[in-house]
Amino acid sequence: MGTKLFLKGEKCLSPKCPMIKRPYPPGQKKKRRPTPPSEYGKALKEKQKLKNWYNLKERQFKNYIKKILEKRGRVEDASNLLIKTLESRLDNIVFRLGLATSRAQARQLVSCGHFLVNDKSINTPSYLVRKGDTILIKEQKAKKAIFQNLKNLLKKHKTPSWLELDIDKLGGKVIGEPNPEEIAPPVEISAIFEYYSR
């Protein structure tokens, strides 16, 4: 006599059937209440959000935080200084001007040498742009397919108050300092400082 196969949901009523042992007691299983995240967990989440927002690797992001932490006590607002520094990166400026659709694309375009800062070719995404600096797409690079419809897209683009967009020249100018209130990153920066201060 062959072994009977049971369909899903069927039970073996024979006393010869082997007993299946479960790793939990019989009866209805209790649902576990979600435990609230720890302070460390919250800080980690905030750190990840800001790091990903600016499309930075952990090492780069950590270096920015450490430099700001060293100045803590000597600067009026460490949180504002961090945001101003991150916003002043060339790849972020390119994104804010609307010359790229994302920070990731801006980083790639800068790395490939598509931009001039004050008429000098800069291919370092982390290059810090200052008030008065001009950023332009190189004339020969502007003919590339990726920039073909850019002028039309820029007509609808809203530029931050501290940047001045020049649609005809496919570039812009830094006319002020980044305004953290206008930027309003969706994170609690104090938690990030606490995370790296451990």
Does residue 98 surpass a pLDDT of 80?
yes
pLDDT digits (tens, 9 = 90+) for 7-16: 555 555 565 6
Does residue 2 surpass a pLDDT of 60?
no
- Angle subtended by helix axes 189-197 and 58-71, to nearest 10: 90
The mean pLDDT of the chain is: 87
Region 89-177: CATH code = 3.10.290.10
Q: What is each CA distance from 151 to 90, 97, 170, in whole angstroms?
A: 20, 12, 7
DSSP class per residue in 117-185: ETTEE---TTPBP-TT-EEEE-TTGGGSGGGTTHHHHHTTPPPPTTEEEETTTTEEEE-S---HHHH--
- Domain assignments of the chain as residue spans, ordered by start: 40-88+187-198, 89-177
At 186 the pLDDT is: 83
At 85 the pLDDT is: 95
Query: Distance (Å, rounded) from C-alpha 81 to C-alpha 155?
Result: 31
Q: In terms of C-beta density within 10 A (0-12 exposed, 13-18 middle, 19 or more buried), how is residue 100 classed?
A: buried
At 84 the pLDDT is: 94
Q: Indicate the range of 39-48, 53-62, 72-81, 162-171 predicted with least confidence.
A: 72-81
> Could you tell me the pLDDT band of residue 72, with boundaries at 50, 70 and 90?
confident
At 31 the pLDDT is: 59
At 27 the pLDDT is: 62
pLDDT digits (tens, 9 = 90+) for 106-159: 999 999 999 999 999 999 999 999 999 999 999 999 999 999 999 999 999 999
